[in-house]
A and B are shown apart, each in its own frame.
Chain A
Amino acid sequence: MGWGAAVPAAFLKRDLREALTYKFSFVSSVVGIFLSSATFYFVAKLVPPGAPSLGPFGGDYFSFAVVGVAFAGLLGMFQEGLASVVRGAQLSGTLEALLVTPLPVPAILFGSSLYSLLFQIIRTALHLGVALAFFGLSLGRIDLAGVAAVGLLTVVCFLSVGVLSASFILVYKTGNPFSWVLGTVSGLLGGVVFPIALLPSWIRWVSSLLPITYALDGMRKCLLASAPFHEVLPDVAALAAFDAVLLPLSLVAFRLAVRKAKKDGTLSHY
């Protein structure tokens, strides 16, 4: 049976219809974006322009922080969206009804998370748009090839972590270690709101183990510092290495998780 675009469209329509029944969620989301940008705008006044640690990223703290926060939110959604979908369907009771349809399990997983992912992409664009329109976000000359390479490899990397998280949730239901370790540690050591160059050297090595470090580094260089493609090659190479390990690992883990949950009879338990 070929499903084509109709299945993703059905998932999007379902989630949009549900979202429209919650009237204030979109409004509060936009207000939140505005407040976040305003906060960093004023915090940035404490940081003198041209601080050495900001040099590789254009030198302006506000732009550095806004790009970090906007993309960290997006990456967090890629990383945790699939697991949230599985957990949500377990809790709401819809997982079993989805699993008895002819749709393959990975298609159910990705279809179910599509709306959240697209919504987060729009939020990220809006975040950058608000910062650009109202708070003077200063973009450089953007190298599209660099943005595309860093962006694509980052998406694959974080979706792979997302599949690993979903696999864990399928079997163990809660206590997702990927979310905890990567989410918490990335916030502190991944260079989201301050450059990792400010970290003491004894802990800076941890940053080099986190994919978000390379994702944000590459994206900031492309968007803020007018870096040509060859300057982001180290980030591209690091992300490609993460992808090469995480993608196959996550696919195998997911297959094993579905099998174990079916074997234990806990596929729809919560």
Chain B
Amino acid sequence: MNGTPAILVERLVKRYPVVRGFRELVLRPFDRRTVTALDGIDLEVGRGRVFCLLGPNGAGKTTLLKILATLVLPDGGRALVEGHDVARKPGRAKAAVGFAVGDERSFYWRLTGRQNLEFFAALYGLRGGDRDRRVSELLRLAGLDEAADLRFNGYSTGMRQMLSFARALLADAAILLVDEPTRSLDPQAADRVRSFLRDELAGRQGKTVLWATHDLGEAADRADDIAVISRGRIRLSGPAASLAGGGRAALRRAYEQAVGDPVVADKSRGTP
């Protein structure tokens, strides 16, 4: 298994049906229109790498992550995580990844951070002392040990994001999928999150991190590899050292050339 990449995506296609109004349903009941979210994507993510999937809103980043997390079924091609096909062996594929669901509504707001993690830990098969130890360990790792027994609705946005990482790590999966983790965070909180993913999870724990972002600076500074995705296609990919070797400006030029749009926010610099 060590020779295989952590994530392998081949000619992956996803088309969503277009929601139609009553008039269209009556006039053309059998006319099925779709919008293409992924248009034959190929991707390979090596073990222990931080791989940034960089692209504008609506590029197909979230769709790709959801397919890898088995929440969405692809229409063509295949996606393997740890060698398991997400469409054919969803149970095994799901066990191989931790998906940090970005939506802060995905927690129970009237429960504490610890109670939330205890509940999800049980769903991941952790029991008794093992569960309690794992939950405490992850709360400490996420810097939430002091806030562990406060209700989730009292957490800041940054704390909520850290708790979502803790939840994604409950099963200690080798691959972590994160979807725009620094969205709506203040600069300090965003930096804490970036360091946590880069230094703690990838650096110390050796996890593979597939990190969807539209933040160019984030990708340039923290990724081992970058793929630029736009309108459902990979436009550019390679090691960050070569794509962003000339700094953020070089990556910005390469990105604009690949995407054909003027740009993505470079939040870490505070410039668009």
- A residues near B (Cβ < 8 Å) are 1, 3, 6-7, 9-11, 13-14, 17-18, 21, 92-94, 96-104, 108, 259, 262-265, 267-268
Contacts and interface: CB of A to CB of B under 8 A. Distances in A.
A59 to B, nearest CB: 48
Contacts of B122: 6-7, 9-10
Given A7-B122, A10-B123, A93-B105, A100 B110 contact: no
B222 interface: no
B61 to A, nearest CB: 14
Given A97-B106, A103-B123, A264 B16 contact: yes
B149 to A, nearest CB: 12
Interface string B101-126: 10111111011000100111011110
Interface stretch (B67-75, B228-236, B240-248, B255-263): B67-75
Contacts of B239: none
Given A102-B91, A102-B171, A96 B106 contact: yes
A21 B110 contact: yes
B6 to A, nearest CB: 17
B189 interface: no
Given A11-B119, A18-B111, A99-B71, 8 more contacts: A3-B125, A7-B123, A17-B111, A94-B107, A98-B123, A101-B124, A103-B123, A265-B14
B17 to A, nearest CB: 6
A96 B125 contact: no
A8 to B, nearest CB: 10
Contacts of B103: 93, 96
B267 interface: no
A112 to B, nearest CB: 11
Given A259-B73, A262-B72, A97 B110 contact: no
B194 interface: no
A259 B104 CA distance: 26
Interface string B3-23: 000000000001011000000
B192 interface: no
B101 A97 contact: yes
A3 B127 CA distance: 9
Nearest to B14: A265
Contacts of B108: 14, 18, 94
B107 A262 contact: no
Task: Give the dominant DSSP class at B's interface.
Answer: mixed
Contacts of B104: 93
A96 B115 contact: no
A256 to B, nearest CB: 13
Nearest to B95: A102
24 contacts: A6-B122, A10-B118, A10-B119, A14-B115, A14-B119, A17-B115, A93-B105, A94-B105, A97-B107, A98-B123, A99-B71, A100-B69, A100-B71, A100-B94, A100-B99, A101-B120, A102-B125, A263-B75, A264-B16, A264-B17, A265-B37, A265-B66, A265-B71, A268-B71
Interface in B62-92: 63, 66, 69-73, 75, 91
Residue from A9, A265, A268 having most chain B Cβ neighbours under 10 A: A265
A186 to B, nearest CB: 30
Residue from A101, A103, A259 having most chain B Cβ neighbours under 10 A: A101
B22 to A, nearest CB: 13
B255 to A, nearest CB: 26
A100 B105 contact: no
B198 interface: no
A265 B72 contact: yes
A60 to B, nearest CB: 44
A270 to B, nearest CB: 10
A3 B121 CA distance: 12
Contacts of A3: 125
B214 interface: no
